[in-house]
Structure 1
């Protein structure tokens, strides 16, 4: 089993990646992806891009931590079209088709009880999986489980989301999104869509990790891995760049929803396991 802890911080804050410790102030925003790779199960990149013909996102949310739904204030497009469009693009231009199912309304998601936590350990997050996950995967279909919770990660209080895959038999990748961290983007009345955009950019980024970007299952087609920041892209405009800044969120236009840079898209297009 290989364990990876990948931490992405906005505002270019410093982190000691060797010992895994950070001194993050609460206002600092970022990502963390924890990738566990087991090479004998159906939940790995070589399966996603060979025999899988359907991919489904199962979304659950803690009471008062529901994801944004509906339409963007500016432009009017559906909020979840960002995730859907990026997943559609991931599996485009192959010799076969993959049916992508992305929910867009709370009626298509599952509300779970208030967990009464202000902090979470990875094990506490994993405890939610057998309690609330309804779907499984096999070599033809994959379902990624996404859970929105209140609070923050106890050992890294500034991260926005955690991706965990293939550990201890949990099945397909699970993404945990910390709603309190997302809402820190929602502090500008003049930019009403900022938190909504940050949430979708975060989710798409984490799905990129779950699928195997960057060089975490999907091999590199060109040299663009930012090795100083783990499995991330050197292209600052790419959604797999290690940092999500306020400026980047403000500049993102959901009308043109694709966030993966050409380097990552080339990795995917040229991966034929």
Structure 2
């Protein structure tokens, strides 16, 4: 396992498409494929958004560790990882730092993944869990596609537990770096930060609204079209707005106000 620690002060804000699925478990222990045996995992198996304050503030946890698991050939770009750390540094209080560990996991046999498939992969391979002073996040980059894809649109990412999200990296590869397509690292960054936004409780998903900006047609998303948390997953309509862009959209002022009211910056 490779470990990289980032202490960044630069600021990059980003956005885009996803689904959000709440999955929690009452099982308080889990074996995994890395020899850690039976450990308490219950704090990392709660519903999406329930750890928003813990991720944003330093009241309970003053350090954050992100486990990036990926299938060979489908790792996130260095730029996307740096953008993730910069975003979290800008929006959360973690005085003891934000670190990243990476691991390569086997290619997925089931090319269309349900949320239960994704959970099974996490439970088998995840190694980082909450401990004293440290909160852990699992980010999985897969060669599989979402079972929720339709003829009219594809899912690029899903936040499905309080500290877990998946990025459908092969789908992103197919939609980026081509003619009339967005830059891959920009699209990656947009989707990754959108999913992290859901873990931070946006929009109205564990972090309370300070103003009326939830999209009533697409709940748990912001109604400001230029915001990172704007809905666009099912149709992929947001992708065309990224063509030629050098960075992903930023959080709008209302989403930032929500985070600040829940312990963030």
Q: TM-score normalized by structure 2?
A: 0.73
Please say if residues 208 and 258 of structure 2, whose CA atoms lie closer than 8 Å, have aligned partners that are also in contact. yes
2:115 aligns with one of 119, 122, 125: 122
Q: Which of 21, 33, 44 is the aligned partner of 2:20? A: 33
CA contact (8 A) 2:89 2:98 kept: yes
Deviation by residue 1:162-218 (Cα, 9 ceiling, x = unmatched): 11115xxxxxx2111112220132253576x61221111100000010111111111
Deviation of residue 41 (structure 1)? 4.5
What does 1:170-189 correspond to in 2, within 5 Å? Answer: 173-189=163-179
Distance of aligned partners of 1:41 and 1:113 in 2 relative to their CA distance in 1, 3 Å threshold: closer
Aligned pairs for 1:135-174 (under 5 A) are 135-138=128-131, 140-157=133-150, 158-166=154-162, 173-174=163-164
Equivalent residues in 2 for 1:1-273 (5 A)?
30-36=17-23, 41=43, 44-48=51-55, 49=57, 50-69=59-78, 78-91=79-92, 97=95, 99-101=97-99, 103=100, 108-138=101-131, 140-157=133-150, 158-166=154-162, 173-189=163-179, 194-243=183-232, 245-250=238-243, 252-254=245-247, 259-272=250-263
Can you list the C-alpha shifts for 1:145-177, whole angstroms capped at 9, x where unaligned?
A: 0111112122335101111115xxxxxx21111
Separation of aligned partners in 2, 1:118 and 1:98: 39
RMSD: 2.8
* Residues 42-63 of structure 1: per-residue CA shift (max 9 Å, x gap): 7622333332211121101012
Alpha-carbon displacement from aligned partner over 1:67-123 (angstroms, at most 9, x marks no partner): 223xxxxxxxx442221221111126xxx736222x4xxxx5211112222211211
TM-score w.r.t. the length of structure 1 is: 0.71
Confirm or deny: 8 A CA contact 1:63 1:111 kept in the other structure. Answer: yes
Runs (5+) with no aligned partner, structure 2 = 1-15, 26-41, 45-49
**Which segment drifts farther, 243-252 or 114-123?**
243-252
Q: Following the alignment from structure 1 to structure 2, what is the Cα–Cα distance between the partners of residues 196 and 41?
A: 31
TM superposition shift of 1:242: 0.6
In structure 2, the CA distance between the partners of 1:160 and 1:79, relative to structure 1 (3 Å rule), is closer
Number of matched residues? 220
Where do 4+ consecutive residues of structure 1 move more than 3 Å? 40-43
